[in-house]
């Protein structure tokens, strides 16, 4: 249970970190479209990866969320 | 095209009738009618949530938003949706625990109980009413514009709007929330299929993703980076949008209801993950349609772009599917919103169950009529109006989260401040006061202030003492 709590906290911190990162010049440099990845502009491919990572984090969250312990009680 | 519209239209109508009849039960309880028996499985849950979330706002609005503002639109919606599904996991757990063992009568009813203060429920209902109705209206209008382009001169725009409202009322009256959820499932799938068919056709116009962006670079280079040609997608705009979209499951009652009626905690959690994947799948092709519009129709207005990209440039069968897909997208979201408003009203009504249900149904009818009139008079960009709707209801987020999460007796100050925040936000929308202060957007300032007030209220709240039988305290 304690481990799950820790993993869940790590997931939350990672999700917040990804959100903050999105709004920095690292992802949205104003007026800059390079470097491209397979022809895709910079801000689009970086933010696409962030979106996928957020969904992956959500999946990991379902596995480590401490509330899943109480699932049996749930109707 | 008319032939294909009839073919797909009849199939779609048949499925809606089937969904309504399958959900119809004589002598059903109000709980069954309003909350679908609180027993929704994973597939239905994902599709109903997705169909309620991805509306004409996504189907028409997002291609237009990409066309005008460029690739930063992905951050505006997709990254925000990614964060939202993570929050859904966290918030869903707490709200389901909160309502466990009690009858859920909408967020208004729940929040009234949490604060033991009726004003909290009324303030929430007021924000939901004020910000959902125009949003519903503009979606009905979006469908009407599209139908007018498909069948010019056959009906006036208000005739299409009235028809849509009528269909919505009939099948929600017959089958209740369950019919809406079944039809959402059909509509969610239809939306995904249609948007990909059109997106794929638009991508083929360029010959691939790389050539697409190469071409856009020569047409309008600003579309390939933020803040876009109009300078709209600044970090501040995107952050405020993220917060507004994050608050959707908390403050938009149609989503909160869907979280609560899921069969189990595990189903709800898996629904959150699947919804994230669905969001990526559904938003991706809107980039292709938007870039197609930027290439061919950059000088055109909104309506001409929709008509060309979705109808005139497509083969007849695809154009017919686009019409049905759009109706599906708009109908699923609007009926979810109108029904949710009815559900919120029910949470505030007192009296015997029969009269509550009668008044709730009258309320749903009245809300539909008001939305119909809005659909005739409102004119705005779909996406920006949707964003205003998310931000407007989002102002209630700190009050709701505090009420649900805090285990302390908190001050009612947050209720009054949320009401003040709502009035201030409305005043800025009406142009009575500026929408920027000290270089910050007003909605962002309101989110920050109310968020801080919620934290302070929790920290200064009195801890609730559990009654112990031994000490008799």
Q: Tell me the mean pLDDT in the region B253-270.
A: 88
Q: Is A40 part of any domain?
A: yes
> Would you place residue B120 in the very low, low, confident or very high pLDDT band (cuts 50, 70, 90)?
very high
DSSP β-bridge partners for residue B437: B440
Per-residue pLDDT at B466 exceeds 60: no
Please, are residues B383 and B435 in contact by the beta-carbon 8 Å criterion? no
Q: Is A29 part of any domain?
A: yes
Q: Which residue of B has its CA nearest to A17?
A: B83
Q: Which of A26-30, B81-85, B333-337, B415-419 has the lowest mean pLDDT?
A: B333-337
Q: Is A24 part of any domain?
A: yes
Per-residue pLDDT at B116 exceeds 50: yes
Give the whole-angstrom CA distance, residue A71 versus residue B67: 45
Mind listing the pLDDT tens digit for each residue in B195-237?
Answer: 999 999 999 999 999 999 999 999 999 999 999 999 999 999 9
Per-residue pLDDT, B398:
95
Per-residue pLDDT, B379:
62
> How many percent of chain B have pLDDT more than 90?
41
Question: Which residue in the set A11, A41, A55 is minimally distant from B280, CB to CB?
Answer: A55
Per-residue pLDDT, B26:
64
A60 touches chain B (CB under 8 A): no
> Would you place residue B122 in the very low, low, confident or very high pLDDT band (cuts 50, 70, 90)?
very high
CB contact under 8 A, B75 and A43: yes
CB contact under 8 A, A70 and B287: no
Question: Rounded to 5 degrees, what are φ and ψ at B392?
Answer: -60, -45
What CA–CA distances, in Å, run from A61 to B190, B276, B319? 30, 13, 41
- Determine the CATH number of domain B2-396: 1.20.1730.10
Q: Tell me the mean pLDDT in the region B277-283.
A: 95
What is the sign, positive or negative, of the torsion defined by CA atoms of B452, B126, B361, B371? negative
> Would you place residue A71 in the very low, low, confident or very high pLDDT band (cuts 50, 70, 90)?
low
Mind listing the pLDDT tens digit for each residue in B141-193?
Answer: 878 877 877 788 778 878 888 888 888 788 777 767 777 788 788 878 888 89
A67 touches chain B (CB under 8 A): yes
Q: Which of A43-47, B38-42, B72-76 has the lowest mean pLDDT?
A: B38-42
A65 touches chain B (CB under 8 A): yes
Per-residue pLDDT, B153:
78
Give the whole-angstrom CA distance, residue B253 versus residue B204: 40
B219 touches chain A (CB under 8 A): no
Q: Is A71 part of any domain?
A: no
Give the whole-angstrom CA distance, residue B195 versus residue B186: 14
CB contact under 8 A, B79 and A51: yes
Please, are residues B316 and B2 in contact by the beta-carbon 8 Å criterion? no
Q: Is A72 part of any domain?
A: no
Q: Which ranges in B100-234 belong to alpha helices (H)?
A: 106-115, 118-150, 157-206, 209-219
CB contact under 8 A, A58 and B89: yes
In the three-class reduction of DSSP (H, G, I as helix; E, B as strand; rest coil), residue A37 is classed as strand
Q: Which residue of B has its CA nearest to A37?
A: B210
Q: Nearest CA to CA, how far is B376 from chain A (Å)?
A: 36
> How many percent of chain B have pLDDT more than 70?
93
With a CB cutoff of 8 Å and minimum separation 6, the contacts of B131 are B388, B389, B392, B393
Per-residue pLDDT, A75:
39
Per-residue pLDDT at B60 exceeds 90: no
Please, are residues B233 and B70 in contact by the beta-carbon 8 Å criterion? yes
Per-residue pLDDT at B71 exceeds 80: yes
CB contact under 8 A, B272 and A62: yes
Per-residue pLDDT at A74 exceeds 50: no
Per-residue pLDDT, B15:
84
In chain B, which residues have their Cβ closer than 8 Å to the Cβ of A29? 225
Please identify among residues 271-290 of chain B the ones whose CB lies closer than 8 Å to any CB of chain A. Answer: 272-273, 276-277, 279-280, 287
Please, are residues B412 and B462 in contact by the beta-carbon 8 Å criterion? no
B405 touches chain A (CB under 8 A): no
Q: Which of B139-153, B271-285, B373-387 has the lowest mean pLDDT?
A: B373-387
Who has greater pLDDT, B50 or B63?
B63
Question: Which residue in the set A23, A32, A65 is minimally distant from B93, CB to CB?
Answer: A65
Who has greater pLDDT, B469 or A30?
A30
| Rounded CA Rg of chain B | 22
Q: Nearest CA to CA, how far is B76 from chain A (Å)?
A: 10
Q: Nearest CA to CA, how far is B9 from chain A (Å)?
A: 35
In chain A, which residues have their Cβ closer than 8 Å to the Cβ of B277? 55
Who has greater pLDDT, B410 or A47?
A47
Q: Is A15 part of any domain?
A: yes
CB contact under 8 A, B85 and A55: yes
Q: Tell me the mean pLDDT in the region B327-341.
A: 81
What CA–CA distances, in Å, run from B153 to B145, B148, B161, B373? 12, 7, 15, 21
CB contact under 8 A, A71 and B72: no
A21 touches chain B (CB under 8 A): no
Angle at B130 between CA B286 and CA B44, to 5 degrees: 50
CB contact under 8 A, B82 and A31: no
* Boundaries of domain holding A33: 2-64
Question: Rounded to 5 degrees, what are φ and ψ at B462?
Answer: -80, 135
Q: Which residue of B has its CA nearest to A41?
A: B224
Q: Nearest CA to CA, how far is A3 from chain B (Å)?
A: 17
Who has greater pLDDT, B151 or B125?
B125
Q: Is A14 part of any domain?
A: yes
Q: How many domains is chain A partitioned into structurally?
A: 1
* Beta strand pairing call for B436-437 and B462-463: unpaired
Who has greater pLDDT, B340 or B287?
B287
Classify the complex by whether its ipTM is higher than 0.90, answering yes or no.
yes
Please, are residues B178 and B166 in contact by the beta-carbon 8 Å criterion? no
Q: Which of B76-90, B170-184, B292-306, B410-424 has the lowest mean pLDDT?
A: B170-184
Mind listing the pLDDT tens digit for each residue in B21-57?
Answer: 777 666 666 666 666 666 778 888 888 888 888 877 7
CB contact under 8 A, A15 and B86: yes
Q: Is A74 part of any domain?
A: no
Q: Which of B23-27, B162-166, B253-257, B365-369 has the lowest mean pLDDT?
A: B23-27
> Would you place residue A68 in the very low, low, confident or very high pLDDT band (cuts 50, 70, 90)?
low
Q: Tell me the mean pLDDT in the region B313-335.
A: 84
What CA–CA distances, in Å, run from B162 to A22, B67, B131, B158, B375? 42, 30, 21, 6, 9
Annotate A39-68 with three-state secondary structure: CECHHHHHHHHHHHHHHHHHHHHHHHCHHH
Per-residue pLDDT, B111:
92
B100 touches chain A (CB under 8 A): yes
CB contact under 8 A, A54 and B85: yes
Peptide bond into A35 cis (omega under 30): yes
With a CB cutoff of 8 Å and minimum separation 6, the contacts of B215 are B206, B295
With a CB cutoff of 8 Å and minimum separation 6, the contacts of B238 are A22, A23, A28, B72, B75, B76, B226
Q: Which of B83, B263, B284 has the highest number of chain A CBs within 10 A, making it the mutation to test binding with A?
A: B83
Per-residue pLDDT at B103 exceeds 70: yes
Mind listing the pLDDT tens digit for each residue in B418-429?
Answer: 999 999 999 998
Per-residue pLDDT at B308 exceeds 50: yes
Per-residue pLDDT, A1:
72
Per-residue pLDDT, B223:
95
> Would you place residue B473 in the very low, low, confident or very high pLDDT band (cuts 50, 70, 90)?
very low
Q: Tell me the mean pLDDT in the region B119-135.
A: 90
Q: Which of B268-277, B337-346, B399-408 has the lowest mean pLDDT?
A: B337-346
A20 touches chain B (CB under 8 A): no
CB contact under 8 A, A43 and B280: no
Total CB pairs under 8 A between chain A and B: 139
In chain A, which residues have their Cβ closer than 8 Å to the Cβ of B233? 28
Per-residue pLDDT, B382:
65
A6 touches chain B (CB under 8 A): no
CB contact under 8 A, B269 and A30: no
B347 touches chain A (CB under 8 A): no
């Amino acid at each position: 249970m304690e481990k799950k709590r820790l993993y869940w906290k790590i997931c939350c911190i990672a999700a917040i970190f990804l959100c903050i990162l999105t709004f920095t010049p690292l992802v949205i440099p104003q007026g800059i479209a390079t470097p491209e990845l397979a022809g895709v502009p910079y801000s689009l491919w970086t933010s696409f990866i962030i979106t996928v990572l957020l969904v992956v984090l959500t999946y990991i969250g379902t596995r480590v969320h401490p509330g899943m312990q109480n699932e049996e009680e749930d109707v | 095209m008319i032939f294909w519209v009839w073919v797909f239209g009849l199939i779609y109508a048949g499925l809606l009738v089937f969904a309504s009849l399958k959900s119809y039960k004589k002598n059903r309880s109000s709980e069954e009618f309003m909350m679908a028996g609180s027993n929704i499985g994973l597939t239905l849950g994902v599709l109903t949530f997705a169909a309620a979330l991805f509306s004409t706002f996504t189907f028409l609005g997002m291609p237009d938003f990409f066309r005008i503002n460029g690739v930063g639109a992905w951050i505006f919606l997709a990254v925000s949706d990614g964060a939202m599904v993570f929050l859904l996991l966290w918030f869903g757990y707490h709200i389901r625990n909160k309502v466990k063992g009690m009858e859920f009568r909408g967020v208004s009813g729940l929040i009234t109980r949490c604060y033991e203060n009726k004003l909290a429920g009324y303030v929430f209902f007021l924000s939901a009413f004020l910000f959902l109705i125009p949003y519903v209206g503009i979606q009905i209008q979006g469908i009407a514009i599209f139908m007018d382009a498909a069948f010019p001169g056959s009906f006036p725009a208000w005739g299409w709007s009235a028809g849509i409202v009528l269909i919505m009322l009939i099948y929600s009256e017959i089958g209740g929330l369950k019919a809406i959820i079944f039809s959402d499932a059909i509509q969610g799938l239809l939306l995904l299929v249609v948007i990909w068919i059109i997106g794929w056709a638009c991508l083929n116009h360029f010959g691939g993703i790389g050539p697409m962006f190469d071409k856009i670079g020569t047409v309008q280079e600003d579309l390939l980076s933020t803040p876009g040609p109009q300078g709209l997608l600044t970090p501040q705009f995107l952050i405020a949008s993220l917060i507004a979209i994050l608050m959707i499951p908390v403050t938009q009652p149609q989503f909160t209801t869907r979280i609560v009626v899921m069969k189990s905690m595990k189903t709800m959690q898996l629904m959150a993950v699947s919804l994230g994947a669905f969001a990526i799948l559904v938003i991706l092709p809107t980039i292709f349609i938007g870039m197609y519009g930027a290439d061919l129709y950059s000088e055109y207005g909104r309506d001409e772009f929709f008509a060309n990209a979705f109808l005139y440039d497509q083969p007849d069968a695809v154009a017919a599917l686009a019409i049905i897909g759009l109706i599906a997208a708009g109908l699923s979201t609007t009926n979810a919103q109108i029904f949710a408003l009815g559900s919120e009203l029910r949470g505030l009504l007192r009296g015997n169950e029969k009269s509550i249900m009668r008044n709730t149904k009258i309320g749903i009818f009245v809300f539909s009529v008001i939305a119909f009139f809005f659909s005739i008079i409102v004119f705005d960009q779909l996406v920006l109006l949707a964003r205003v709707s998310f931000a407007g209801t989002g102002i209630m987020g700190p009050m709701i989260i505090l009420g649900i999460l805090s285990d302390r007796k908190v001050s009612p100050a947050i209720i009054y401040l949320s009401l003040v925040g709502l009035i201030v936000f409305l005043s800025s929308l009406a142009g009575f006061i500026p929408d920027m202060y000290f270089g910050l957007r007003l909605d962002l300032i309101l989110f920050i202030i109310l968020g801080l007030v919620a934290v302070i209220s929790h920290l200064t709240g009195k801890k609730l003492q559990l009654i112990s039988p031994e000490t008799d305290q």
